[in-house]
Amino acid sequence: IWAPRPPRTPASPSPDWDPGARGRMRPLLALWVSVLLGTPGGSAYGFRNCIQTARDAGSFRCIQRFVRDIGSAVGDLPPGATAVNVSHNAIRRLPPGALTHLPRLRRLDLAFNQLQEVEQGAFTGLGALATLDLSHNRLAGLAAGTFQGLANLSCLLLHHNLLSTLGSGVFQPLANLHSLVLHNNHLQSFGEVASSVQNLRQLRELDACKNNLTSLGPGPLLPSSLLVLRLCNNSLVGVSGASPDLLRGVRVLDLSYNNISDVESFARVRFQNLSWLQLLGNPLDVFRLLNVSDVRPRSVDYSGLALGNESVSELCWYLQGARLRQLRLHRNGIQALRQGTFAPCPRFGTLDLSWNELRSVGCVAELLSWGQRQGLRSLVVEHNLLKRLPSCEAGARLPSLYNISFRFNRILTVSRSAFAYAPGLRVLHLNINNIADLHKGALQGLRNLTELRLDNNLLTDLYQSSFTDLGRLQTLNLRNNHVSVLFSDVFSNLSQLQTLDLGGNNIRHLTGKSFQGLCSLRKLYLDGNHIQEISSDIFRPVQATLEVLDLRGNKLQYITKQQSQQPPFMYLHRLYDLKLQAQQPYGLKIIPYKFFQGLTALRALFLSQNKLLSIPSDVFDDLAQLQYLTLADSSNGMQDLPPGIFKNLSRLETLDLENVGLHSLTLEVFGNLSRLETLKLAKNELQTVNQSVAQRLSALRYLDLRKCPLSCTCENTWFQTWLNNSRVQLVYLYNYTCGSRQQPAYVYSFDMHVCFLDVGLYLFSGTAPALLLLMVLPLLYHRAYWRLKYHFYILRCWVNERWRRQEEEQYQYDSFISYNSADESWVLQELVPNLEQGSGRGSFRLCLHHRDFRPGRSIIDNIVDSIYNSRKTICVISRSYLQSEWCSLEIQLASYRLFDELKDVLVLVFLEAIPNAELSAYHRMRKVMLKKTYLSWPPQPEAQKLFWTKLKRALKSNYMEEEEEDFGEEDKVL
Ligand SMILES: *[C@@H]1O[C@H](CO)[C@@H](O)[C@H](O)[C@H]1NC(C)=O
Ligand SMILES: *[C@@H]1O[C@H](CO)[C@@H](O)[C@H](O)[C@H]1NC(C)=O
Ligand SMILES: CC(=O)N[C@H]1CO[C@H](CO)[C@@H](O)[C@@H]1O
């Protein structure tokens, strides 16, 4: 039955709403609502093995689900899916047409599976696919029609497979392929690779590194569009075998880590477009190569050619000419540089000497000619053995040098004015060294410095004078040092500093002067220190500008909710990101009252891993701008959140309450989160999800209830009804099992019939007794009325008479006469005279109602008494007798003695002949007649004598059996 959807927001409950009382009624109500209105308000959907990305409805992640076949991984995805990530599963094969239901797919990631086979037509219907990742699988070969239909594919990743051959037509359908990645396979013939890609008119980049290639030929030409060719980590000995024009269009050629020594082979191949040749890790004489081939010297990367100290000058001879953008000499085993080493070289912008064995670079300027000094902009000496940076106060300057990187060295000491040669320095990277001794004047004169990285060193103390000249510094990174104290005013000259990273130090204490002078500071990282206390004073110097504050992993802890001081973040009105996770060693435990007061601009608050015991309900009251809140992993006995805790968070979009020990969701806590889109509730104690809460969260799109012991009770039936809609994604919905472990039942499919039965039961037990009663009453009335009544009277008689009458067989009367008043004249004129008169055994004592009934007693009592006090009962039967109610009572009562006590008390006397048909209306009478013989009053006077004799004999007899012998068959009227 179609019915309109009920409105999203249900009638709001009154504030003193009692969940318990309503809760008991809820299943029934909800059921009725759903029966009457179709689906109840909310709606949900979920995927068996995928999670839809919260912000991008077309994007799905189906990773690490242990699925073995593609169908069960993505079979339930909607046709609108544009990006699907199925990596890190156990898929073995792709059957034909496995993904035809996803025609809009643009990106498909199947990496890290166990694919051995991709069948022909596996990707049919994926005409929109642009990126296909099949890397890290076990593909040993590719059938010809494998990529049929992928006309728009631009990037194909096949690295880390077991490919040893490629069919020549396998890439044929990929008319738009730009990039083909084949590294880490077992390919042996470059000719085969070339013929498989020769028709790809759009191919720009081909990566065949780390295969087993030994030569570049024979084979067809590469497509002229190819610009980048990577052949590193193969077993090439030269470029022999290649046709002269094979590489003519290639701009970037990577031949590193081969075994190339045959430089003569380069002479036979044209390299006229080459602009970058990587030859690292080959045992070749690069100068010889330059001599014999048309490779331009400036196109070669001279890294890893074992040039040593001496060859640099020779090299420079080859590089003569205009200014070089960069001179890169990685991995050449250079141990020392003499004065003027680079003097023969042309001017260059960047000098990169990384991965050598230099112990010192002196004051740099000495190595260069005057012209080079003017031109050098960047100096990179990473991964060397530099130990100390000497003082360079005197000596030549490098006016345009703006970037120095000495990362990954062993620098211990930085002397006074170590960078005096670079007065224009803007970026200085000294990170990842052993600097313990940074001279107070080391950075003197660097007035233009904007970025200084000193992280991952051994600094213990910081001095104000170290930073005196750095008035333009914007970023200072001091992370992972051993700083334990921040002296007053240490940063006071850094008025332009925007980012200060002090994470991973040993800072215990901060004062109001620690950050004095940082009047532009926007981001402050103090995570991973030992800070035990924070106060509003500490942040006062940066209150006007601070936007991000990271205090994660410190030692903040509160033991009471009462706070003696002002709330610590009181003045940080611009702060939008605050991190307080994982306080050591036992978490924050308690959050004091009004702890977050003043944070009116805060958008993200991280409070996870804090073992919270209690949170006051007013704590988030000021955070009206909050969009993201996490309290995840705070479970430490905190049970449910206090009512009203989120009442002001009307802008909250993401709430992470994973593993916080929640037992229930209540409207008092969650009722106001009207903009909440993502709610993570995994690993809680939730057994049911309150439907009214779900309905109130009207913006909800993503709900995670993984690992909650959801029970399959009727309270969760609405879950199932949610399923047919599409508003809220319930993450891995089909994986939620019922809390009880007995049988693997699932919340999405548990048997709801019990719930419907419940109602049936209510209805049944409400109506059945009434119905039964209605059915039984007439029956009872019809069948057992007299029986009951009779037994009741019998009981009464028995009780009354028991003590009165010792001898049961002594009757007061010989016979009770039951007759209708219409027959009174016969009784009085015929019966009474004939039976009462006479003497001795011939006379009988009769009981007549008009004569012998005791006055004052009820008629019924009198009747029962009379029947019981008489040996026999004579029924004088006529038509009027049968119609009379009293007579019928009398005959019935008497017949009970016949049937129940097996005492023959009845003597039937028919005054007139009544046809059987007429008698049949009187069942009991007929029953008696069938059981007994009876007498008929004969109209002929002669016969009347016999009648009286028979009647008298009947009155005298005691047992039915005798009676039957006495009366003959001739008397039966049937
Ligand atoms: C798919 O997921 C894996 C694992 O998280 C990730 O490394 C990979 O980059 C993702 N692929 C794409 C295309 O986003
Ligand atoms: C090539 O080999 C070198 C040295 O063995 C290694 O460092 C590099 O990662 C390898 N490159 C590839 C793409 O496998
Ligand atoms: C309990 C249950 O059904 N768990 C399943 C959840 O999904 C994963 C991945 O599909 C299965 O491996 C589990 O068996």
Mean pLDDT of 519-526: 96
pLDDT tens digits, one per residue of 127-151: 999 999 999 999 999 988 899 999 9
pLDDT at 9 over 50: no
The atom number, within ligand 3, closest to the CA of 744 reads 1
pLDDT, residue 33, reads 32
pLDDT, residue 790, reads 66
pLDDT at 974 over 50: no
Work out the mean pLDDT of the chain and round it to a whole number: 85
pLDDT, residue 901, reads 65
Q: What is the pTM of this model?
A: 0.73
| 625 contacts 597 by C-beta, under 8 angstroms | no
Between residues 705 and 106, the one the model is more confident about: 106
pLDDT, residue 59, reads 95
Q: Is 735 in the pocket of ligand 3 (CB under 6 A)?
A: yes
| 412 contacts 434 by C-beta, under 8 angstroms | yes
Of 222-236, 734-748, 850-864, the poorest mean pLDDT is in 734-748
Mean pLDDT of 351-374: 92
How far is residue 399's CA from residue 427's CA, in Å, rounded to a whole number?
A: 14
Q: Is 66 in the pocket of ligand 3 (CB under 6 A)?
A: yes
List Cα–Cα distances, 110 to 98, 113, 117, 155, 159, in angstroms.
Answer: 13, 7, 13, 13, 12
Q: Is 65 in the pocket of ligand 1 (CB under 6 A)?
A: no
Mean pLDDT of 20-43: 35
| 322 contacts 348 by C-beta, under 8 angstroms | no
pLDDT, residue 158, reads 97
How far is residue 323's CA from residue 108's CA, in Å, rounded to a whole number?
A: 45
690 C-alpha to ligand 3 centroid (Å): 25
Q: Which ligand is nearest to the CA of 707?
A: 3
Q: What pairing do the DSSP bridges indicate for beta strands 300-301 and 324-328?
A: unpaired
193 C-alpha to ligand 2 centroid (Å): 21
Between residues 18 and 296, the one the model is more confident about: 296
How far is residue 259's CA from residue 240's CA, in Å, rounded to a whole number?
A: 13
691 C-alpha to ligand 3 centroid (Å): 26
In residues, how long is the chain?
A: 974
Domains of the chain: 58-177 (3.80.10.10), 178-299 (3.80.10.10), 758-804 (no CATH), 808-971 (3.40.50.10140)
pLDDT, residue 20, reads 33
pLDDT at 90 over 90: yes
Q: Is 109 in the pocket of ligand 1 (CB under 6 A)?
A: yes
pLDDT, residue 13, reads 30
Strand order in the sheet with 107-109: 51-52, 59-61, 83-85, 107-109, 131-133, 155-157, 179-181, 205-207, 228-230, 252-254, 276-278, 300-301
* 865: nearest Cα among 925, 821, 909, 813: 813
| 334 contacts 361 by C-beta, under 8 angstroms | no
Q: How confident is the model at residue 18 (pLDDT cuts 50, 70, 90)?
A: very low
pLDDT, residue 898, reads 65
Q: State percent of the chain over pLDDT 70.
A: 87
How far is residue 376's CA from residue 398's CA, in Å, rounded to a whole number?
A: 7
* 311: nearest Cα among 338, 348, 350, 279: 338
pLDDT tens digits, one per residue of 754-796: 666 566 677 788 888 888 888 888 888 877 776 777 677 667 6
pLDDT at 254 over 50: yes
179 C-alpha to ligand 1 centroid (Å): 18
Of 296-300, 540-544, 835-839, the poorest mean pLDDT is in 835-839
pLDDT, residue 6, reads 33
pLDDT, residue 278, reads 96
pLDDT tens digits, one per residue of 302-316: 999 988 878 888 898
pLDDT at 744 over 80: no
List Cα–Cα distances, 56 to 83, 84, 207, 679, in angstroms.
Answer: 9, 12, 31, 16
pLDDT, residue 676, reads 94
Of 77-91, 390-404, 898-912, the poorest mean pLDDT is in 898-912
Q: Is 733 in the pocket of ligand 3 (CB under 6 A)?
A: no
> What residue owns the CA closest to ligand 2's atom 1?
233
Question: Cis omega before residue 218 (within 30°)?
Answer: yes
Of 16-30, 420-434, 590-604, the poorest mean pLDDT is in 16-30
pLDDT, residue 785, reads 72
Q: How far is CA 832 from the centre of its chain?
A: 100
pLDDT, residue 809, reads 59
Mean pLDDT of 676-680: 93
| 498 contacts 522 by C-beta, under 8 angstroms | yes
| 364 contacts 379 by C-beta, under 8 angstroms | yes
pLDDT at 728 over 60: yes
Output the CA torsion sign for 277, 283, 288, 294: negative
pLDDT tens digits, one per residue of 453-470: 999 999 999 998 999 999
pLDDT at 212 over 70: yes
Q: Is 63 in the pocket of ligand 1 (CB under 6 A)?
A: yes
Q: Is 736 in the pocket of ligand 3 (CB under 6 A)?
A: no
Q: Which ligand is nearest to the CA of 107?
A: 1
pLDDT at 530 over 70: yes
pLDDT at 813 over 80: yes
> What residue owns the CA closest to ligand 3's atom 14?
735
Q: Which ligand is nearest to the CA of 82?
A: 1
* 415: nearest Cα among 381, 392, 383, 398: 392
Mean pLDDT of 392-411: 94
| 614 contacts 562 by C-beta, under 8 angstroms | no
pLDDT, residue 963, reads 41
Between residues 283 and 808, the one the model is more confident about: 283
pLDDT at 964 over 90: no
Mean pLDDT of 936-950: 84
Pair of tokens at residue 659 = 């593993």
pLDDT at 27 over 50: no
Per-residue b/e over 906-915, b at no fewer than 16 CB within 10 Å? bbbbbbeebe
How far is residue 431's CA from residue 659's CA, in Å, rounded to a whole number?
A: 38
Q: How confident is the model at residue 853 (pLDDT cuts 50, 70, 90)?
A: confident
The atom number, within ligand 1, closest to the CA of 64 reads 4
How far is residue 3's CA from residue 349's CA, in Å, rounded to a whole number?
A: 74
pLDDT, residue 844, reads 83
Task: Report residues whose beta carbon is within 6 angstroms of any ligand 2 atom.
Answer: 183, 209-210, 232-233, 257
pLDDT, residue 885, reads 75
Q: Is 49 in the pocket of ligand 3 (CB under 6 A)?
A: yes
Mean pLDDT of 232-249: 91
Pair of tokens at residue 349 = 């912008």
Which helix H or strand E contains 428, and what residues bound it? strand 427-429
Q: Is 803 in the pocket of ligand 3 (CB under 6 A)?
A: no
110: which DSSP letter?
A: -
pLDDT, residue 303, reads 93
Between residues 21 and 489, the one the model is more confident about: 489
pLDDT, residue 739, reads 66
pLDDT at 914 over 70: yes
